[in-house]
Amino acid sequence: MSPVCHEDRALDLGDDHFHDACGVFAVWGHPDAARLTALGLHALQHRGQESAGIVSIEATRPLTAHAHRAMGLVQDAFTAATLAGLRGDVALGHVRYSTTGESHLRNAQPLLAAHQGQPLACAHNGNLTNTDALKRGLDAQGAVFQSSTDTEVFLHLAARARGDSALDRVIEALGACRGAWSVAFLAGRQLIAARDPHGLRPLCLGTLGRAHVVASEPVAFDLIGARYVRDLDPGEVLVIDADGARAYAPFEPVAPRFCVFEHVYFARPDSTLGGQSVYDARRAMGRALGREAPADADLVIGVPDSGVAAALGYAEASSLAFEVGLLRSRFVNRTFIEPVDAQRQFGVRMKLSPVAAALRGRRVVVVDDSIVRGTTARKLVAMLRDAGAREVHLRVASPPTRWPCFYGIDTPDRDELVAAHRAPAEVNALVGADSLGYLSLEGLRGAVNGQRGGFCDACFTGEYPVPFVPVGALTARTQHGLAPPVTRR
Amino acid sequence: MSPVCHEDRALDLGDDHFHDACGVFAVWGHPDAARLTALGLHALQHRGQESAGIVSIEATRPLTAHAHRAMGLVQDAFTAATLAGLRGDVALGHVRYSTTGESHLRNAQPLLAAHQGQPLACAHNGNLTNTDALKRGLDAQGAVFQSSTDTEVFLHLAARARGDSALDRVIEALGACRGAWSVAFLAGRQLIAARDPHGLRPLCLGTLGRAHVVASEPVAFDLIGARYVRDLDPGEVLVIDADGARAYAPFEPVAPRFCVFEHVYFARPDSTLGGQSVYDARRAMGRALGREAPADADLVIGVPDSGVAAALGYAEASSLAFEVGLLRSRFVNRTFIEPVDAQRQFGVRMKLSPVAAALRGRRVVVVDDSIVRGTTARKLVAMLRDAGAREVHLRVASPPTRWPCFYGIDTPDRDELVAAHRAPAEVNALVGADSLGYLSLEGLRGAVNGQRGGFCDACFTGEYPVPFVPVGALTARTQHGLAPPVTRR
Amino acid sequence: MSPVCHEDRALDLGDDHFHDACGVFAVWGHPDAARLTALGLHALQHRGQESAGIVSIEATRPLTAHAHRAMGLVQDAFTAATLAGLRGDVALGHVRYSTTGESHLRNAQPLLAAHQGQPLACAHNGNLTNTDALKRGLDAQGAVFQSSTDTEVFLHLAARARGDSALDRVIEALGACRGAWSVAFLAGRQLIAARDPHGLRPLCLGTLGRAHVVASEPVAFDLIGARYVRDLDPGEVLVIDADGARAYAPFEPVAPRFCVFEHVYFARPDSTLGGQSVYDARRAMGRALGREAPADADLVIGVPDSGVAAALGYAEASSLAFEVGLLRSRFVNRTFIEPVDAQRQFGVRMKLSPVAAALRGRRVVVVDDSIVRGTTARKLVAMLRDAGAREVHLRVASPPTRWPCFYGIDTPDRDELVAAHRAPAEVNALVGADSLGYLSLEGLRGAVNGQRGGFCDACFTGEYPVPFVPVGALTARTQHGLAPPVTRR
Amino acid sequence: MSPVCHEDRALDLGDDHFHDACGVFAVWGHPDAARLTALGLHALQHRGQESAGIVSIEATRPLTAHAHRAMGLVQDAFTAATLAGLRGDVALGHVRYSTTGESHLRNAQPLLAAHQGQPLACAHNGNLTNTDALKRGLDAQGAVFQSSTDTEVFLHLAARARGDSALDRVIEALGACRGAWSVAFLAGRQLIAARDPHGLRPLCLGTLGRAHVVASEPVAFDLIGARYVRDLDPGEVLVIDADGARAYAPFEPVAPRFCVFEHVYFARPDSTLGGQSVYDARRAMGRALGREAPADADLVIGVPDSGVAAALGYAEASSLAFEVGLLRSRFVNRTFIEPVDAQRQFGVRMKLSPVAAALRGRRVVVVDDSIVRGTTARKLVAMLRDAGAREVHLRVASPPTRWPCFYGIDTPDRDELVAAHRAPAEVNALVGADSLGYLSLEGLRGAVNGQRGGFCDACFTGEYPVPFVPVGALTARTQHGLAPPVTRR
């Protein structure tokens, strides 16, 4: 619907995964705010590699906002010189893999605007489900959209809200939004961070000396030596300013529904989300898979990086040897050239190399975290056979992905999901393994039971916790006034 | 007032001039629209060298808008690959030298937004005088500003306007604006071009085969082989779409006040503005100067490029020989390094070199178009003496610049204008010439009398044709309905 | 001694390893030669990341040589456009990590020169031990050196040699050289590849359809679908031209001495060198280490990537659980910014992240392939403790590195080698682990006994197979005439 | 003959001129040597725009040579950071427009090599006529050529020379060379500058405080505040080191033959060469042309920049008005895009714009410095007519160029020279002017009679002062011992 800008999309290198949309990082009250933000974003680089951006606020009168956004990786986007220009002790950063809006610099976040002479910046991980309705309403009021992200909707809603304080206006804006939002705003010198009532996407709080830090995953704290404090609660709105950090719970509570795919694939294995270690969860998925879908084989290998922990668990549960049968190239972050007569598995081989010594003449169980379209799995199986594996048994450490995600994950159309309309045996007929086994939904749920609250598993079940809002049916459910600050640990 | 982004400002290389803000170029109905626009902008490069941008509209369903904007010169910003991506037969381009807003990519024009699912782009040459009042009103209605240009105000006003058609909405938006605007919009596939009622800045119409072209100066037509048709009238709104070009005159007529400084310095000498050749005008200024401020000297030289035509006129009126006593470097478009112990006139010498053979032992009249701060003039005089000139008589082909411009020209604060509070003799005491002479206001007016209508000469006289609007006093004087199309030549 | 060019050296990111110098790749007789070479180099990227280069030969009359060399990674150095310019069906490529000569573009290989109107290119993996003597001799004959690599010596020697054919001249040149050279020349359209008599560095031959390919490691063949044929023999000179491939053995045979550190660290685990799988060798090193240096612990982790296979072997031999306790960042190929107050282990953390869930409260054996200066090991141990490990037992899958390498490996001065003058207990006092164990020399030799012939293990033992030649003592031992071609499998 | 590297050659923008090859600049004994050299090269940018390079010598033990060379303009090639790395108080720089060798980075000068542990760098303006013979001899002695410039020949010859001192060796090397060489060497910390015995190309000496500077044209001194001392004599070899500057005259004197085309076109008009002001010379050429080839016309215009001074002289001699009828774009230093349906004179228009106001209805004399192929002249005449000129009389301020240059100027093959085999009337039939007139050889000679000594005017007359050396016929005429230093002013 919206006017879009042209740009070639890089071909995936045999990377048949759902893709996370974004990572958010913010620092309040540290003289080195922008550099710390760049490092925090670097630690969150796995959540988005298309663009990176930082907005900082310098305490001049009036306030000065500095911004730098660029296509590409954090370490290419931010040089020492760029960071020197991002003065101020408050900074907000974002890495992006586009879900809504095209891959274009003008869609890179954080978005930065001015409202009533104050800077207003926003960085968002997630996806709204009532964007069209909201945009239609805003259009009717004369809003102009300069990006094709739904993140820009937050800015327009906040600017139009009636509240007296920035916090009131942000809460009113968020109250009109449906879907998934782990979001951070800079409103003047205030940092306001919030999670949607279902808590679909992660967001957590930490401290670095007297400074506060906010990040999508706690691994971003480790790199800069910050201390993890806690995850934000679903529905929480957290304000950080010169008076410290104050938590609010302005939205009607609903059942928590954390994205289970963060544990399956998106998050880094060294992260802990909702009190649950991702590495432990993946190992447990592997163990359950070993029990549910055993194989008569000689050894177990994992597809690096995300399938390795599950492969270890599978090996443990099935008492098979674990081997490093596949190597991931350290030097490929994007597509490169292709030879004129490329061999069949060229795309996969650019990223993964088989270790023939570990495979030759053996019956191999290969564990991957998920299968999306199935095209990579087919090439992978063929590559393992070419490297000498006698048998290849493919095991998937999650249930069949049958439904697209509408909450901030880049998934293909339903018809492209190989398991959408196929039984596992039919999938395996396409993939060509000696056998194929998936983890059951129960097995998955058991593996993540260390986490408080419920999960969103709509990509497996089609049970979407937040319905799409038909255009026109939107009833503004904005907040008039704040609930009192919540006392937290 | 607004939050701004950091960037170092390039030092001027002894370029003590008022600076034009912008150039606008548009093509409607040509398969090569973006390339032609890049060339048109290149021909207008003298009007702005800080950033360049093009938006094109591709006739897909829905329409697709392509955009590319970059800091720097047109030929650096646009490669063959970039232009290949700017598909479509309608394109709008802009070159910029910042007057409002900082020098930053996010302020590069054309601005592109979406409103009600349609692309809306805007490129502006000029400056509004009621921006603060308009922004305050828009702020109150929840507008968020993503650039620090006042051009963005057009987009917000047009989006909020009540008219049914894009043309109605643009006219309503323009009706609320005071100051100088030669502006072009792309609204969907329509191209809408307009000049403010005073006609402060230039804008003209041409044709290229069956395509229409719009440009700040007709020289942009010459390069692409387009035919000049006419200047837009002050207050004219011109719509170009599949039904052809239609002119409207929706605003209450006021006295035309074309910026006389376009003739003095900004425009290219090969341009014709308002029916008056710029070259002829400058030559006439020089002749008048020769009559008004003769010098007992051996030869006349001009400061290239803008002072040369006036120098020729001066030589003619005074029957002195004309020589090329100063060369302008072909290779300096921006600052370069400076040696640790730079000699006194280093900055000027990077741009201008004296031809000692023409100067040695001679009494020299040097003609410049204007003096702003006087710093360059002082170095220039010293450099000519060092090169061997026996006497240096500085002649300025315009009156003393005593007042800043508020209509789209980059001028220093009044206190920095060397002539603001000084008589010519006092100025010369600073500049150090053997004599100093300015052109009178009458002389200037006589030189440009080939042009229809009156001029704005506020930078010389302080008589501003458009007053500043005090915040709060703005009464919307929007148009309800269109005047009938004007029949034009 | 030689004049050098300035360039800042990138800080190592906690990468306390010996560094391999170079990778060589060549294609003869394929229309897509340059693209295949770029991919081959990409597969050899682990052997050198500072510069990359390709020379191709186009069969024009006279022959045209095309060259492109650049600092940085292969995929940054070679674009589709660059490769399109590298026309011809013969190509030679090189990736480099400087050992001799500074890191500078003019030292990037392949070197390309013209001699008697014919192109002569050279790419070298290894290091000469009589460079100074050779250069002195060449200096006396008027040679000028335009790089600071010892590779350039090959070009000068070949150009001065008296042989009638390029092959004769290359053999005469090589005959004067002492040390390690796995080298490939393009002489006109001929490809000449050779290994020094000890066979210190690897080089192998493959075929791709009717084309011949040569590479430092066979993994480079896998990516392009080429077939591995065999390793070149120590002392072999292989000529490839329109008459096919012919092998010569012109040098007096000596005992083979393959660099054992290729198996310890340099080579990719999926490579097979001298008939010995690197993965198997590392796993065997780990098993032997487990037997020789057991630990009372709960689990075993490896330092990715090179320590993982040994860790698996250690776990197997000691019946301890293997875990992924350290993650390697996918996004760091070079240094990035550092915060002002970086935490202690910052450098290591940029590359490696501990998985706290696998470590907390456990007694951990961490297996690394080698320790060089020991600085990284100290940070690593501290990082594992900070992540919760109760005990940290460091195990090194090779003997203490006590001597520098003179055969093409980047090693620090002897005094910087932490084990040069220290017993393991003293090393551990610096490193701070609960215990430290090295693999014995016998253990190492047992692990690589799948390979034919002897090894160079001078970095562990100080027993250098090739002595340094004192300047002046060089007696030219050049070859006059060729031994007959060797019949090979 | 030599292997060459591929690179697209930029299209000329209607720039139908002979092109100068190079500019040379050097500083001895100034702490800011590299920055001053960058500025000196910038002032010589008109002599070569394809590549730029600087070598500096830092007085470490052993000496350290720093080098930076890049394609493109000086101000793009050298940043503050690059220059900071070029430490040392001796520096040598070069700008290049290729005459021999392709346009490639590896041909960028200064060339830098090491010989006997000492840096040896060389920068050359000119062209050798016995390169092939010299290369053949060097080839036979085993020299390898790493560039395709004939400048590299100097390095090889100097390295092979038998003299004891660097000066002896440089003189011996130069003694073997025929043709045109204004050349500067850095040999260790010594700066050695020399001109060929005919003095074909310029080179001059200056001082900056206690430092010495050498430059192709004295205009390079003006920018940095250095003082011009004198031109080097033809055949002079000048040594600058800690003992000051010493001049030698080691070569057999021959008649001076300074390139007259430096006055016609190459040199900047503000330069003085051989005691003759270039501006005065061009003005005198114009006056002579006005006398020799008058026209019945209304006004005179010059083709900027090089034709303007001659046009002024023509106007003076013919008592016609001088006008600025053509503007040169300030923003075109290289080719840009071309529209799909470009108008006829597109290429010329990118560089030159007609001022219609000065031309319309008038009979115009247009003065250019020379005509090479005639293609641009045809477009120029057509463009002036299209701009309204009633008659166009083309006057050329030099004789017909009929012969190619072999002394360092980029000229087309003889058959491409429009006047090679055509009388002026035939040329005009192609160019399409109302009349065409050239300056006579006598007229040209009269105009430059301010200069001491004779000229090379082979491009007009075919009388080449230095014959080409047939391959094989070269008799080494090297110097054995130095003539005593020459006492100079």
A277-451: CATH topology: Rossmann fold (3.40.50)
Percentage, residues of chain C above pLDDT 90: 70
Residues 363-422 of A with CB under 8 A from C: none
The verdict on whether A177 is a catalytic residue reads no
Q: Which chains would you list as touching C if contact means 3+ CB atom pairs under 8 Å?
A: A, D
Helix (H, G, I), strand (E, B) or coil at A238: strand
For residue B242, what are the CA distances in angstroms to B29, B190, B213, B239? 8, 8, 14, 10
What does the pLDDT look like over C332-391, one tens digit per residue?
766 677 777 777 778 888 889 999 999 999 999 999 999 999 989 999 999 999 999 999
Residues 35-74 of B with CB under 8 A from D: 35-36, 38-39, 42, 45-46, 49, 73-74
pLDDT of C103 higher than 60: no
Q: Which residues of A touch B67 (CB under 8 A)?
A: 5, 106
Q: What sign results for the dihedral spanned by CA atoms C459, C461, C466, C467?
A: positive
Helix (H, G, I), strand (E, B) or coil at A181: strand
The more confident residue out of A116 and C435 is C435
- For chain C, what is the mean pLDDT? 88
Locate CATH 3.60.20.10 in chain D.
19-257
- Single out the residue of C187, C227, C181, C219 nearest to residue C200, CA to CA: C181
Q: Which residues of D touch B268 (CB under 8 A)?
A: 327, 353
What does the pLDDT look like over A115-162, one tens digit per residue?
888 999 999 999 899 988 999 999 988 898 988 788 899 999 999 999
Q: Is C332 an interface residue toward A (CB < 8 Å)?
A: yes
The secondary structure element, H or E, covering residue B186 is strand B179-187
Which residue bears the tokens 């027993």? Answer: C463
Beta bridge partners of B93: B25, B54
Q: Are B206 and B16 in contact (CB under 8 A)?
A: no
Can you tell me the distance from the alpha carbon of D54 to that of D44, in angstroms, rounded to the nearest whole number? 14
pLDDT of amino acid D476: 31
Rounded to 5 degrees, φ, ψ at D341 are -110, 70
pLDDT of A9 higher than 80: no
pLDDT of amino acid D107: 78
Residues 6-35 of A with CB under 8 A from B: 6-7
Q: Are C193 and C214 in contact (CB under 8 A)?
A: yes
CB contact under 8 A, A67 and B106: yes
Among the partner-chain residues C115, C119, C142, the one whose CB lies closest to the CB of D139 is C115
Q: Which residues of D touch C118 (CB under 8 A)?
A: 3
Size of interface C-D (CB pairs under 8 A): 114
Can you tell me the distance from the alpha carbon of D347 to that of D10, in angstroms, rounded to the nearest whole number? 13
Residue A275 has a CB neighbour count (10 Å cut-off) of: 11
The active-site residue out of B22, B122, B204, B456 is: B22
Among the partner-chain residues C35, C74, C75, the one whose CB lies closest to the CB of A339 is C35
pLDDT of C488 higher than 80: no
Minimal-distance CA residue of chain B relative to D35:
B339
What does the pLDDT look like over A396-430, one tens digit per residue?
999 999 999 888 777 788 888 999 999 999 999 99
The secondary structure element, H or E, covering residue C356 is helix C356-359
Can you tell me the distance from the alpha carbon of B479 to that of B162, in angstroms, rounded to the nearest whole number? 10
CB contact under 8 A, C38 and A337: yes
pLDDT of amino acid A479: 35
Give the DSSP per-residue string, B127-167.
EESSHHHHHHHHHHTT--BSSS-THHHHHHHHHH---SSHH
- Single out the residue of A473, A476, A471 nearest to residue A162, CA to CA: A476
Q: Are C186 and C55 in contact (CB under 8 A)?
A: yes
pLDDT of amino acid A20: 59
Burial of D487: CB neighbours in 10 Å, binned 0-12, 13-18, 19+: exposed
Q: Is C271 an interface residue toward A (CB < 8 Å)?
A: no
Q: Which residues of B touch D342 (CB under 8 A)?
A: 225
Q: Is C85 an interface residue toward D (CB < 8 Å)?
A: yes
Helix (H, G, I), strand (E, B) or coil at B385: helix
CB contact under 8 A, B219 and D356: no
* Cα B331–chain centre separation: 22
Q: Are B211 and B29 in contact (CB under 8 A)?
A: yes
Minimal-distance CA residue of chain D relative to C133:
D116
Locate CATH 3.40.50.2020 in chain D.
277-451
Q: Is D111 an interface residue toward C (CB < 8 Å)?
A: yes
Q: Which residues of B touch D280 (CB under 8 A)?
A: 357
- Single out the residue of A322, A383, A373 nearest to residue A351, CA to CA: A383
CA angle centred on A170, ends A168 and A176, rounded to 5°: 105
Beta bridge partners of D438: D396
pLDDT of B312 higher than 90: yes
Among the partner-chain residues D5, D64, D142, the one whose CB lies closest to the CB of C3 is D64
Mean pLDDT of B270-274: 94
Q: Is B122 an interface residue toward D (CB < 8 Å)?
A: no
Can you tell me the distance from the alpha carbon of C22 to that of C179, in angstroms, rounded to the nearest whole number? 15
Encoded amino acid at B333, one letter: N
pLDDT of D475 higher than 50: no
Q: Is D471 an interface residue toward C (CB < 8 Å)?
A: no
CA angle centred on A221, ends A217 and A226, rounded to 5°: 150
- The answer to whether the bond into A470 is cis (omega within 30° of 0) is no
Give the DSSP per-residue string, C376-409.
HHHHHHHHHHHTT-SEEEEEESS----S---SSE
Give the minimum alpha-carbon distance from A425 to chain B in angstroms, rounded to a whole number. Answer: 41
Among the partner-chain residues B223, B337, B350, the one whose CB lies closest to the CB of D349 is B223
pLDDT of amino acid C150: 81
- Residue B330: pLDDT band (50, 70, 90) is confident
CB contact under 8 A, D146 and C111: yes
Which residue bears the tokens 């010189």? Answer: A81
Token pair, residue D327, equals 């503007």
CB contact under 8 A, B148 and A2: no
Alpha carbon dihedral C260, C262, C263, C268, in 10-degree steps, equals 180
DSSP code at position A192:
E
pLDDT of amino acid C480: 34
Percentage, residues of chain C above pLDDT 70: 89
Encoded amino acid at A442, one letter: E
CB contact under 8 A, C327 and A31: no
Mean pLDDT of D263-287: 95
Q: Which residues of C touch A31 (CB under 8 A)?
A: 340
Helix (H, G, I), strand (E, B) or coil at A354: strand
- Is pTM beyond 0.95? Reply is no
The more confident residue out of B16 and C147 is C147
Give the minimum alpha-carbon distance from C293 to chain D in angstroms, rounded to a whole number. Answer: 49
Strands (DSSP E) contained in C41-167 are: 51-58, 64-71, 90-96, 111-115, 118-128
> What's the first-to-final CA gap in chain C, in angstroms?
46
CB contact under 8 A, B159 and A146: no
Residue C175 has a CB neighbour count (10 Å cut-off) of: 18
CB contact under 8 A, B73 and D331: yes
Say if domain B19-257 classifies as CATH 3.60.20.10: yes
The active-site residue out of D5, D22, D122, D204 is: D22
CB contact under 8 A, C343 and A225: yes
Q: Between chain B and chain D, are at least 3 CB pairs below 8 A?
A: yes
Minimal-distance CA residue of chain C relative to D70:
C105
Query: Annotated active-site positions of C, please?
Result: 22
The more confident residue out of C437 and C144 is C437
For residue D400, what are the CA distances in angstroms to C412, D293, D370, D428? 67, 14, 7, 12
- For chain B, what is the mean pLDDT? 88
Q: Between chain C and chain A, are at least 3 CB pairs below 8 A?
A: yes
DSSP code at position C483:
P
CA angle centred on D290, ends D286 and D296, rounded to 5°: 135
pLDDT of A73 higher than 70: yes
Q: Are D226 and D213 in contact (CB under 8 A)?
A: yes
DSSP code at position C10:
P
pLDDT of amino acid C331: 81
Residues 198-257 of D with CB under 8 A from B: 219, 222-225
Alpha carbon dihedral A388, A389, A390, A394, in 10-degree steps, equals -150
The active-site residue out of A5, A22, A122, A456 is: A22
Among the partner-chain residues B32, B280, B328, the one whose CB lies closest to the CB of D357 is B280
Give the minimum alpha-carbon distance from D418 to chain B in angstroms, rounded to a whole number. Answer: 27
* Cα C312–chain centre separation: 24
Q: Say which residues have a Cβ less than 8 Å from residue B412's Cβ, sequence separation at least 6.
A: B372, B373, B404
Q: Which residues of C touch D471 (CB under 8 A)?
A: none
CB contact under 8 A, C144 and D161: no
pLDDT of amino acid A52: 94
pLDDT of A233 higher than 90: yes
The 3-state secondary structure of chain D, one letter per residue: CCCCCCCCCCCCCCCCCCEECEEEEEEECCCCHHHHHHHHHHHCHHHCCCEEEEEEEECCCCCEEEEEEEECCHHHHCCHHHHHHCCCCEEEEEEECCCCCCCCHHHCCCEEEEECCEEEEEEEEEEECCHHHHHHHHHHCCCCECCCCCHHHHHHHHHHCCCCCHHHHHHHHHHCCCEEEEEEEEECCEEEEEECCCCCCCCEEEEECCEEEEECCCHHHHHHCCEEEEECCCCCEEEEECCEEEEECCCCCCCCEEECHHHHHHCCCCCEECCEEHHHHHHHHHHHHHHHCCCCCCEEEECCCCCHHHHHHHHHHHCCEECCCEEECCCCCCCCCCCCCCCCCHHHHHHEEECHHHHCCCEEEEEECCCCCCHHHHHHHHHHHHCCCCEEEEEECCCCCCCCCCCCEECCCHHHCCCCCCCHHHHHHHHCCCEEEECCHHHHHHHCCCCCCEEECHHHHCCCCCCCCCCCCCCCCCCCCCCCCECCC
Can you tell me the distance from the alpha carbon of C198 to that of A116, in angstroms, rounded to the nearest whole number? 77
Token pair, residue B88, equals 């479509």
